Structure 1
Amino acid sequence: MKNITIYHNPACGSSRNTLALIRHIGIEPQVIHYLENPPSEATLRELLSAMRFTPRQLLRTNVPEFLSCGLDNEGLDDDTIINAMLTHPILINRPIVVTNNGVRLCRPPEVFLDISPMPLLRDFVKENGDVIVARK
């Protein structure tokens, strides 16, 4: 079985579609509901490094915590942003998927195909009716 981990929020359409896409391919991933079980600081830093993201690139800006934590200040250092993400995991953008082929923020869900250990053999229909066409 292929080892895949998804940092998932079931309230997020992109996260639900990515999880469904992984399952559609035939893999049951380890699902981490990161709002209830946030990553440790070391894990968050490893994920950022593997994605080659800065903390600001992974930061959600459309939630109230963004402003209440003062994260709209462009001059904040990485440690401050990471500490805010650890305190308020809703600030971490999702879904993040980890496979042996890499780590990606899967927005849109099709990004998962870049690191999938198995090909998409059948078209996949997202919740909104959009189709991800199987790669031939």
Structure 2
Amino acid sequence: MKATIWHNPKCGTSRKTLAILENLSGVDLTVVEYLKHPPSREKLAQLYADAGISPTEGLRLRGTDAVERGLPDAPADAVLDAMASDSSLLERPLVETEKGVRLCRPQDRVLEIL
């Protein structure tokens, strides 16, 4: 099975999710450090749609200026635009497999799509 994780190595939950994926046999893993290689706006829209969550639900509030920018109350398109221009606004980690996408908080949520 192929799996892609949008990963931040400084995040404990992201590291734990990555460890789960790395310790499973049969997983062809792609690791994308999204702060260095951010997903496009279109990819973000697809990831959130496939995860069944809104862009606002995928918005990182802690350690960002999202609240000051009014993003928690902004329309989905404005949130996606902000995320596409500043990938630090993405809550992490996002994992995509052929079975779906999950925002893996807590990290065990990754098991739902394996």
The two structures have a TM-score, normalised by structure 2, of 0.92
Instruction: Summarize the alignment of residues 1-136 of structure 1 with structure 2, pairs less than 5 Å apart.
Output: 2-26=1-25, 27-72=27-72, 74=73, 76-116=74-114
Alignment match, 1:130: none
Of structures 1 and 2, the one scoring higher in RCO (CA 8 A, sep 6+) is 2
Distance 2:55 2:3 in 1: 22
Larger radius of gyration: 1
Shift of 1:110: 0.6
Shift of 1:77: 1.1
Residue segments in structure 1 that go unaligned for 5+ positions in a row: 117-136
Secondary structure at 1:35 match in 2: coil
Query: How many aligned residue pairs are there?
Result: 113
Amino acid at match of 2:83: M
The answer (yes or no) to whether the contact 1:69–1:84 under 8 Å persists in 2 is: no
Q: CA RMSD in A?
A: 1.3
The answer (yes or no) to whether the contact 1:56–1:81 under 8 Å persists in 2 is: yes
Distance 1:17 1:99 in 2: 17
The answer (yes or no) to whether the contact 1:96–1:106 under 8 Å persists in 2 is: yes
The answer (yes or no) to whether the contact 1:18–1:106 under 8 Å persists in 2 is: yes
The answer (yes or no) to whether the contact 1:8–1:31 under 8 Å persists in 2 is: yes
Shift of 1:24: 1.0
Shift of 1:31: 0.4
Distance 1:59 1:7 in 2: 14
Alignment match, 1:129: none
Shift of 1:68: 4.3
Distance 1:71 1:114 in 2: 29
More helix by share: 2
The two structures have a TM-score, normalised by structure 1, of 0.78
